[in-house]
Amino acid sequence: MKESLMTPSASGKQAKKIKVAVAKGDGIGPEIMDATLSILKAAGAAIDPEFIELGEKVYESGHSAGIDRNAWEVIRKNRIILKAPITTPQGKGYKSLNVTLRKTLGLFANVRPVSALDPFIPTPHKNMDVVIIRENEEDLYAGIEHQQTTDVVQCLKLITRPGCERIIRYAFEYARAYDRKKVTCMVKDNIMKLTDGLFHSVFTEIGQEYPEIAQEVQIIDIGSARLAAHPEKYDVIVTSNLYGDIISDIAAEIVGSVGMAGSANIGTEVSMFEAIHGSAPDIAGKQSANPSGLLNAAVMMLAHLGQTEIADKIRNAWLKTLEDGIHTADIYTEGLSTQKVTTSEFAVAVTERLGKQPDNLPVSRMSDGNGHITLPEYERRDVKKTLVGVDVFIDWQGNDPQIIGQALDKVGAYKMKLKMITNRGVKVYPEGLDETFCTDHWRCRFVAGDASIKQAVPDYRPVDFEQVLDLQSKLNAAGFDIIKTENLYEFDGQRGFSLGQGE
């Protein structure tokens, strides 16, 4: 079954008005939201704002996440949020509203278009026009961290097949919907063969369904270097959470438009649109704020709702206003700008240009695509999972691998034997090198010791969980400090774990 990410009734050109939850936010929020809404109204956007209170006032009234029950209900009912920036109170006990919204509402895709506005925002990359689509919920940002020994802390990097399928398909659908020509996937699967390897293989798999879109995979390190040096070579980039966090800031910085950019947080149920910048308390109430970031977020919202022609109309009028030199204080340049305007005067200037196109800056043509994004529901595959061993992580304060290795060799466990020990991933027993530095964190790999059982992959044969329990009990009785265990599985005969470096 296909699931449409658009509000269904909004797909027609003269669509009926869609109710949108609108938060005016804090600081400059109300000023830039009023300016944005006045342009949307004049352009004929088919939306009907339903205002909610988020941020400072709600925090102060005792809601530690900055949102109350009524706002949740309006958001869940309307499914679309246009949000001005809010001020995050200082001090302990307050939760970040953005993180709360993103995680609670399952906003899995962060979409950030970055394009050059030279000479109004000077950049050496005049032809840059990139959309970064970042997975928003998984990866190292799952926030699962543990200290395991005196020396070692760990953070779990979780990459899931449904998460990969959803974000990668969204990127291809986005390219198709907005007439983009290429999708680049960025990973580090030369090192992280299972996690980033899954992202890469899902990209290749799903990419086959989009033969009209050019596709490439780059290793994130060289990919980010090339993005910084030659951003005009990129179109849509899809990547996991951490890499996306880093490259979306690189992209915004090199084009110099952090203050002008909008972003979308897309979920299967709810989507949220906002400027990248904060609430700018230093200029609040002065009518000097630039509403462009929020206006661009609103343009993305209209495109998401299928109102791509109105989205183009507003974006093109905005580009024309910039070209005509009508600028707010933050982008006003003597000699280049023609008029320094207030927030509301800027909105009037954009409104007056609705229907016009820019002469030099690239014309917005979102309506050339089909403006429609659908994602299928995830279907879990039926695979055969076989237990073939266990990694037992031990806290041991010694530093000679021979001592712990020989002691573990002597532990007689029911049909299991020590295969190897690694320290920080490098094999140190048997046959390690004296030069390898060892911490107090030892991964001890145990596999089936009974050679009579049929071999599935070299060195690994099916084991019973009873054997794993028996092993742990014997290790504990022998005085070893077990800090965690990881079962080793094969899935349909494919190894589901990494080998030790040097194994």
Binding residues (CB under 6 A) for ligand NAD: these are 28, 32, 85-88, 98, 259, 274, 277-283, 289-290, 293, 330
d(CA 222, CA 220): 6
Least gap, CB of 95 to ligand NAD (angstroms)? 12
Amino acid at position 133, single letter: I
Tokens of 427: 């094999």
Least gap, CB of 343 to ligand NAD (angstroms)? 8
Q: Which residues of 466-485 are buried (b: 16+ CB within 10 A; e: fewer)?
A: ebbebbbeebeeeebeebeb
Least gap, CB of 121 to ligand NAD (angstroms)? 13
Least gap, CB of 26 to ligand NAD (angstroms)? 8
Query: Which residue reads 């004296």 in tokens?
Result: 434
Other C-beta atoms closer than 10 Å to the C-beta of 359 total 10
Least gap, CB of 25 to ligand NAD (angstroms)? 7
Q: Closer CB to ligand NAD, residue 289 or residue 319? A: 289
CB 264 within 8 A of CB 271: yes
Least gap, CB of 435 to ligand NAD (angstroms)? 46
Dihedral (CA of 489, 495, 501, 502) sign? positive
| DSSP assigned state of 394 | E
Q: Closer CB to ligand NAD, residue 176 or residue 327? A: 327
Instruction: With CA atoms as reference, report the closest residue to 144 among 132, 130, 131, 159.
Output: 159
Residues in CB range of 177: below 8 A, 6 or more apart: 303, 369, 370, 371, 372, 373
83 φψ region: left (φ > 0), alpha (ψ -120 to 50), beta (else): beta
Q: Closer CB to ligand NAD, residue 263 or residue 268? A: 263
The residue at minimum Cβ distance from ligand NAD is: 278
CB 447 within 8 A of CB 388: yes
CB 287 within 8 A of CB 344: yes
Least gap, CB of 86 to ligand NAD (angstroms)? 4
d(CA 38, CA 153): 52
Q: Closer CB to ligand NAD, residue 36 or residue 184? A: 36
CB 134 within 8 A of CB 248: yes
Least gap, CB of 348 to ligand NAD (angstroms)? 17
Q: Closer CB to ligand NAD, residue 176 or residue 277? A: 277
Q: Closer CB to ligand NAD, residue 46 or residue 81? A: 81
* Residue 430, phi then psi, degrees to nearest 5: -75, 165
Q: Closer CB to ligand NAD, residue 218 or residue 290? A: 290
Instruction: With CA atoms as reference, report the closest residue to 203 among 239, 236, 235.
Output: 239
When computed from its CA atoms, the radius of gyration of the chain, rounded to whole angstroms, is: 27
Least gap, CB of 269 to ligand NAD (angstroms)? 20
Q: Closer CB to ligand NAD, residue 78 or residue 328? A: 328
Q: Closer CB to ligand NAD, residue 124 or residue 281? A: 281
